[in-house]
A = this chain, B = another copy of it.
C-alpha cells in the first residue's frame, strides 16, 4: 500500500467532506477522538450566542424564549437515532456515572428478587465503582458486584443475576460485544441489561431497540464531540418507563416541577431521569455539535471506521520495526469498535514521543498504546502520516532516550 492508494481512498470517501465541519489544529494528526472529540465549527457561534444573547441579554426569560427547559429532551432526541432508539426513550443529563446509579437502582428494583450485578473485570472502572458504591449503600443482601472475564460472561448468566452491566466497546482493547446476542441470553434468564455506549455511540451503528435493550448510558464528549465534560445521556426502554422509579429524584424529574409541591411525583416519561437544573451552556454545546450528524449514514461511519483500522494494521504489518507492537484488539474487524490497541513495553514513552511529533494517540496503563478512529474527521492520510511517524520513532529508538513525566489522560 503506497501513498497514492491512500489518497485514492480519501477521494472515494463519502464522509470526507464532514472533516470541513470541524476545527482541527494545524499540522496535527488527532487519533484520540475516542477520548475527547474534536471541535465542530458550529459550536463557536452557538456558545457565543448562548452566553451573550440568551444568558447575557435575555437572562431568566430564556428558560421559555430559548426553550432551555426542553434541552435535555431535545438533545436526547438528537442522540436517539444514532443509537437505534425510537422517540421518548433518551434524555441528556448529568454524567455517565450518575446516570448509571439511576439505572442500576431502577433495574435492581424491577428485578428485586435478585441481587447480583454482573460485569466484566475489564469494564471501564467508573462503571464498576458505581456498583461498588451502591453495594456499600444498600448492603450485600441487596446488591453485589460480580466481575468476570469477558469470555466468561455467558456462562455466568444465571438466575441469581439481576442486572448485566456491560460496555459495548472495551475502552482498552476496543473489543466489541454482541449486544443482540448477550441481551437475548440475559433476557432468557430473566436478567435486565444496562449497556454503556461510551465507546460506541457515534462510533458504529447501535441498535438498542432492535436488540431489545433495557437501559443504556453514554457519553457526550467522545464520538459525539460535545466538548470536555459534556453532559451524558441515558436510555430507558419504553416498556420499563411506567414501572421504574429512580432515586436521584431532583425537581427536574418531577411531573410538575414548577408547582413547587413538597412531595415528589415522578414525571410519567423519560423526564423522570433528570435530577437537578440542566447544564444549559454545556448542553447547548452538545446540541450544536450533534447537528454534524444530520446527513450522516451510520453505515458509512462503520465502513470507514473498518477501513481506517484496516489500513493502519496493514501499514504496521509492512514495517518490520513495528513488529514489537502486539495488537490487543481483536483481529476480526467485525469484533472491534473504532479503535486499535497495541501493547508494547515502552508504550508510554512511544505515546509521548508521538505526541511530541503532533500525532495524538493515547496510553492506557499498564502498556497499551491506543489509536482512535473518528470517521467524521479522520482521513486515510492521517493514518498514513501516523504510522510513518510511529515508524520513525520506533526505528530511531528515540523514545528510549527521553524521560517523560507521567501525564494524566482522561478517557
**How far apart are the CA atoms of A138 and B64 in the complex, in Å?**
37
Instruction: Say whether A44 faces chain B, with CB atoms less than 8 Å apart.
Output: yes
Give the residues from 123 to 141 in chain A that come closer than 8 angstroms, CB to CB, to chain B.
123-126, 128-130, 132-134, 136-138
Given A44-B56, A94-B276, A129-B251, 16 more pairs with CB closer than 8 A? A25-B59, A39-B52, A48-B48, A68-B228, A96-B276, A125-B251, A128-B262, A128-B264, A227-B281, A228-B277, A228-B281, A229-B278, A259-B365, A260-B364, A277-B410, A281-B281
28 of the cross-chain contacts (CB-CB < 8 Å) are: A32-B59, A32-B60, A35-B60, A38-B56, A38-B59, A39-B52, A44-B52, A44-B56, A59-B360, A60-B360, A60-B362, A60-B410, A96-B276, A97-B248, A101-B247, A122-B262, A125-B257, A125-B261, A126-B250, A128-B262, A129-B250, A133-B246, A133-B249, A229-B282, A230-B281, A231-B279, A258-B408, A281-B285
Do A276 and B98 touch (CB < 8 A)? Answer: yes
Assuming the contacts A228-B68, A249-B129, A251-B97, asked whether A44 and B55 have C-beta atoms less than 8 A apart, the reply is no
A105 to chain B, nearest CB (A): 6
In-complex Cβ contact of A277 among B52, B129, B137, B221 (8 A): B221
Name A's B-contacting residues (CB within 8 A). 23, 25, 28, 30, 32, 35-36, 38-39, 43-44, 47-48, 51-52, 54-64, 68-69, 94-98, 101, 105, 121-126, 128-130, 132-134, 136-138, 147, 221, 227-232, 245-254, 257-264, 275-283, 285, 355, 360, 362, 364-365, 407-410
Do A260 and B98 touch (CB < 8 A)? Answer: no
Q: Assembly of this chain: how many copies?
A: 2
In the complex, which residues of chain B have a beta carbon less than 8 angstroms from the beta carbon of A246? 133
In the complex, which residues of chain B have a beta carbon less than 8 angstroms from the beta carbon of A47? 47-48, 51, 281
A217 to chain B, nearest CB (A): 10
Assuming the contacts A25-B59, A56-B25, A275-B95, asked whether A130 and B250 have C-beta atoms less than 8 A apart, the reply is yes
